[in-house]
Structure formats: C-alpha cells, structure tokens
C-alpha cells in the first residue's frame, strides 16, 4: 500500500482532503463499484500501548463502525465499509460535495451566517440528532467541522462512532498519555469536562455552542487558553447572542441559551423538543426540516435558571489541554509537501496478499 496507496486491493487513495488528531480522510476511488468515496484512516496507536489495549481499540472501532453503518437518515453521512489494512483501521463513507460549517465561516470571512441559514441548519441537525438519539447513539464530538452543508442545502453530521469509541475505552482518563483530546474544548459540555454522566443532552449543549458560533461569529467562550474555556463552560453563563448580533430573533436566542444550560436537566428534554421549539421561528426559516412533520405534544422545559450547582474541580487531564481547532480559527488544509508522506513509513508495512483477520476479503483491482 505504501507504493500504490491501495487499501484492501479495492480503494485507491487519490488525494488528502482532511487531517485530524486521530487520522486522515482521503478522496478515493472504489475500484470494484467504479465510484468515488471518502476513506477515513485511523492512525495506529504505536507499540507503546499494550496489546490488550490495542485489541479493545480495534474491537470497539469495528462495533461502532457497524453502528454508524446502520444509521439511515438523510442528515447522517452514509458508511459503506470498514476494516483493517496493514495496521490501519479505515472507514469508507460517501464523498460529500459541500463545505463544513467551519469552512462556511471561513468563506464568509468569519462573519456570522445569515439568520435563515442558521435556523435551517439548526433544524436539520436537530432532526438528525433526534433520529440518532432514538437509536441509542450519542455523538460526543459535535462541532462545526463535523457538520457539512451540501450543495443542494442538505446538512449532514459526520464522524459518528469514533468519539463514542474513545469515550468508552476511557481515553479521557489518560489524555496526556495518548495525546488524543476527547472533544474540542470550545464545544464540550460541562458534564464531559467533569467526567460526569454523558447522554444525549451533552450533544444538545454542543449543538448550542455550534449555533452560537455560526450566529455570532465566535463560540460562547472564545479564549485561547484551554483551561479558561473549560472553566467558562463549567461556571460562566454565556453572553446573550443578541448582545453581539441584535438582529437575531429573540426566540432563537432563548432556545440557544436553553441548550447552553449548565445543568443537563435545564436543557430541552431531547432533540425532538428542540426541533419543535424551532417551529416558532417559521417566519425566519428557509424551508421546513427534512424527514417528516414536527413532533407534537412535547413539553418544553423552563428556561435555565441563573442558579449553578457547586462546581467540581476540573479533572487533572484538562490542565495540559490545548484548545485545538474552532471554526473561527481554522485555516485551510495544509497537505504534506511530499504526496507520499501520509499513510507511509510508520503508518504502513509491506503489502502482503492474504487474509487480514478482519473478516473482509481482499478484492483484486479491476
């Protein structure tokens, strides 16, 4: 694979389109079906980790990949295949023709998006989260870079499963040892920061951070120091969005601040309740949300009060945490100067034909 950049004799890697802390995303050609796809390669953890740890990583990756592949909703990226090739775990997904929200802000010179676009994105992401949460899946790493708007206006959530995988293994307890941050600080919920019980309401908080940013141009706690960002999420009420952008509808400000409640019990009951609340913003909408009618009869909880629980100490792993990327500070992708730099060397070994041990048969190139 080092020479041909061919995975499992089927997926021809063409060019690098994204790179993150846990791996890379490549535009590729499926030689078997003659279509273009996106291939996400999970970076190997290295020999410093014990074999039992790596076995757990691989098994959780396979399980979560199957879960992601089972999700059938127009607001969620389709997963076609997964497996392991020469020590590299990979996911094969639909290739999206669009821009993620981080890129949209960059295209707009870091100015907030138009109000109708913000509300339409909120409705579509809310509908996708409602479906996903009803399947018992929590994203845990919702951020602008993981939400893509296609050329036809459809909005899709990406990267389901990987964040849950890492959380289940317990990466957060050894963050500094692995170098992998679970969640981007600007979009992490207070319960994620405090290692508390994380459920679907954590995704709602992260969605509130995303909407706040695309509506105002900056996340609710826009600081360069990761520790200060985490303390802000835990202790500080966010500045009302209309103080930054007065033309925002008052009901929109209310629902975003509800999403950003410190106590999960003060947030909307679920994503369906959030989508129902957006119905009040119909005059500002571009279109109705996809996937059917709005849920009926859902109670809307009272707005979060100013009372805050006694703040726990931030966990020790957060002290050396960096802020990572936020939409307002993300630059264009810098591809490696050497086209063969990715997925070579330490990433790959010598290609050998035969069983991979993953249950996936090698398919000869067409």
| Shared domain check, 201 and 67 | no
Nearest to 121 by CA among 140, 158, 149, 143: 149
- 48 and 132, same structural domain? no
41 pLDDT higher than 50: yes
Q: Is 141 a known active-site residue?
A: yes
Could you give the C-alpha distances from 76 to 68, 129, 157, 165, in angstroms and in order? Answer: 9, 9, 5, 18
Annotated catalytic residue within 30, 130, 141, 258? 141
275 and 132 within one domain: yes
pLDDT beyond 60 at 48: no
**Separation CA 20–CA 181 (nearest Å):** 11
pTM equals 0.73
Within a 13 Å sphere around the CA of 14, how many CA atoms are in the beta-carbon half?
A: 11
Do 141 and 82 lie in one domain? The reply is no
First to last CA, the chain: 16
Of 325 and 332, more confident:
325
Q: In what order do the strands lie in the sheet with 98-100?
A: 98-100, 147-150, 155-157
Q: Residue 67's pLDDT is what?
A: 77
Provide the domain count of the chain: 2
Whether pLDDT at 312 is above 60: no
CB 186 within 8 A of CB 211: no
- Average pLDDT value over all residues in the chain: 76
Range of the domain at 71: 6-95+335-347
Confidence class of residue 289 from pLDDT cuts 50, 70 and 90? very low
| Residue in 170, 155, 175 with CA at minimum distance from that of residue 21 | 175
Q: Provide mean pLDDT across the span 217-240.
A: 93
| 31 pLDDT higher than 90 | yes
Residue 344 has pLDDT above 50, yes or no: no
- pLDDT at position 6 over 70: yes
Q: What is the mean pLDDT of residues 281-292?
A: 53
């Amino acid at each position: 694979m080092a020479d041909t950049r061919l995975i499992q004799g089927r997926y021809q890697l063409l060019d690098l389109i994204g790179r993150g802390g846990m791996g890379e995303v490549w535009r590729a050609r499926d030689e078997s079906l003659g279509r273009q796809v996106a291939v996400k390669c999970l970076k190997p953890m290295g020999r410093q980790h014990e074999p039992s740890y790596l076995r757990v990583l691989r098994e959780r990756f396979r399980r979560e990949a199957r879960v992601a592949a089972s999700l059938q909703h127009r607001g969620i990226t389709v997963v076609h295949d997964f497996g392991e090739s020469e020590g590299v775990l990979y996911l094969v997904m639909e290739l999206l023709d669009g821009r993620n929200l981080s890129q949209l802000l960059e295209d707009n010179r870091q100015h907030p998006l138009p109000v109708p676009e913000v509300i339409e994105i909120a409705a579509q992401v809310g509908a996708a989260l409602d479906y996903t949460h009803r399947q018992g899946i929590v994203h845990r790493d919702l951020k602008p870079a993981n939400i893509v708007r296609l050329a036809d206006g459809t909005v899709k959530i990406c990267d389901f499963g990987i964040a849950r995988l890492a959380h289940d293994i317990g990466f957060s307890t050894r963050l500094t040892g692995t170098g992998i941050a679970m969640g981007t600080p600007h979009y992490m919920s207070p319960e994620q920061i405090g290692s508390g019980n994380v459920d679907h309401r954590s995704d709602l908080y992260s969605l509130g951070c995303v909407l706040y940013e695309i509506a105002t141009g900056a996340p609710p706690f826009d600081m360069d120091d990761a520790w200060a960002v985490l303390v802000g999420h835990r202790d500080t009420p966010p500045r009302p969005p209309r103080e930054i952008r007065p033309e925002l509808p008052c009901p929109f400000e209310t629902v975003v601040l509800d999403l950003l409640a410190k106590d999960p019990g003060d947030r909307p009951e679920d994503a369906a309740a959030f989508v129902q609340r957006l119905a009040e913003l119909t005059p500002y909408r571009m279109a109705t949300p996809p996937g059917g009618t709005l849920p009926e009869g859902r109670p809307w909880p009272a707005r979060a009060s100013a009372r805050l629980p006694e703040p726990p100490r931030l966990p020790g792993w957060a002290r050396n945490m960096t802020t990572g990327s936020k939409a307002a500070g993300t630059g264009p992708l810098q591809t490696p100067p050497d086209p063969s730099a990715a997925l070579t060397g330490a990433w790959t070994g010598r290609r050998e034909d035969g069983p991979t041990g993953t249950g996936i048969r090698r398919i000869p190139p067409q």
